[in-house]
Amino acid sequence: MNFSIKKICCIGAGYVGGPTMAVFANHCPNIKITVVDINQKRIQAWKSNDPAEFPIFEPQLDELVLNCRDKNLFFTTNLEKSISEADMIFISVNTPTKTKGVGAGKASDLKWVEASARQIAKFSNSHTIVVEKSTLPVKTAETIKKILSGSQENNSGKTEKSFSVLSNPEFLSEGNAINDLENPDRVLIGGDDEKAIDALSEIYSNWVPKNKILKTNIWSSELSKLTANAFLAQRISSINSISALCESTGADINQVKKAIGMDTRIGEKFLSAGPGFGGSCFQKDILNLVYLSSFYQLEEVANYWQGVIDINNWQKSRISRLVVNYLFGNVSEKKIAILGFAFKANTNDTRQSPSINICRDLLEEGAHLSIFDPKVENSKIKDDLQNDLNKIEVVQENGSWEIASSVLDAANGSDAIILLTEWDQFLNIEWNELIKLMRKPAWVFDTRSCIDFKSARKAGFNVWTIGNAPFFNE
């Protein structure tokens, strides 16, 4: 018997569930797709007629949602109804790193995944295909299967329930998520039920060439997701380590990047030096690998991947120390403009953003920060800087911050500008106008190597760009 998929439910309306289901709905008009979340505020935001109020910013996402919403794409908090009607259910909930208990600091917290599985077991009817979409540790599917197998009948005992569990990890780059979904390098489907795999494959084949749909066993699928993110993060830590060496030796990181990127065995992608990687997945997935490796007593493997995290943390602290050193070893009561708070351009996501760590370091040194980001909500910036109670005491005693309304507002009266996110509007700043507003000597610290540094120098700024020796304007 082939499975006919007419209704899809996605549990989780976040960075994975929202964009993924919008693309599904756009390409599969005959399938009713319901995105369900217990967060009422988030669901209401998805229902807004103003795309600026959507909980997630991604280029092109607003067009897809507005085109499909209330036609075959729906957002709701009604979990029971959404699950009971679905032929296929995607689990797209958050899986943060555990903060306490066994595996704290490394293992993923799977409480939302387990809760979702229990709700599916409770409310589903007949046969349901359950798809892991969240980033999960290897063997999580086994846990889901055990939970689902505990409920094979509905309350009346008349209709037998059955489940197929698949792994279909996302490989999305925030800021480019819609393009990644529309034109994926590959779609990975892991499982042991060929009919269920075929059913999901048929959905993707509406827009993805079949030779890009890769079918594996479920364990390989889960591990492939962790490994892909670990390899990408490894490249970032590698180039960042070389950026420090370039600054010390007089080499130019951009020239080194071009030279090694032309080697086809290496390639040019993910070789841009920066303040460190951020986002919801890279650090979490590497820590998962560290935990799994230690669990299976592969300490050398665990130490190797821990090194990638260590370099990333070192890069962030290196930049904040460098800023202090160039500002005469003291930033107390000095105003510093922070341009960009999201972990990368074209997203409003701040999870694990290097900006958070760098700002906190400067606040501990007593700086006054004026922070501007074109997409991150002011409340989110405040929450990120205040979410650690121990840090709050330090910040309140020494440093302070404010939210700026523009680049000019942030720079007004500042001693330095630190560019932390490569937003397009930061690439063509009028440096001649900006320097008039600042205290002298004025500094620009470009952690993304993306500004017109010649114009900044000509305007009279001292300029530091990552992976290069600083330029002092006499």
Q: Is 281 a catalytic residue?
A: yes
In single-letter form, the type of residue at position 420 comes to L
The β-bridge partners of 443 are: 416, 462
**Is residue 464 helix, strand or coil?**
strand
Q: Which of 10, 32, 132, 170 is catalytic?
A: 170
CA dist 170 and 187 (Å) reads 8
Tokens of 30: 């005959």
Q: Which residues contact 271 (CB under 8 A, 6 or more apart)?
A: 235, 239, 257, 260, 261
At residue 109's C-alpha, the angle toward residues 108 and 112, to 5°, is 130
Q: Which of 32, 225, 257, 316 is catalytic?
A: 225
CB 280 within 8 A of CB 351: yes
Q: Which residues contact 229 (CB under 8 A, 6 or more apart)?
A: 135, 281, 282, 285, 286
| Total residue count of the chain as it appears in this document | 474
- CA-based nearest residue to 350, from 373, 321, 368: 373
Q: Is 170 a catalytic residue?
A: yes
Q: How far is C-alpha 315 from the chain's CA centre?
A: 19
- Segments of 41-102 assigned E as strands: 73-76, 88-91
CB 77 within 8 A of CB 90: no
CB neighbourhood size of 434 (10 A): 22
CA dist 457 and 134 (Å) reads 46
Matching residue, tokens 């079918």: 215
Tokens of 261: 């990127």
Q: Which of 281, 316, 365, 422 is catalytic?
A: 281
- CA-based nearest residue to 326, from 251, 415, 397: 415
Q: Where are the alpha helices (DSSP H) in 405-469?
A: 407-411, 431-435, 453-459
In single-letter form, the type of residue at position 246 comes to C
Q: Where are the alpha helices (DSSP H) in 281-332?
A: 282-295, 299-326
**Is residue 446 helix, strand or coil?**
strand
Active site members: 170, 225, 281
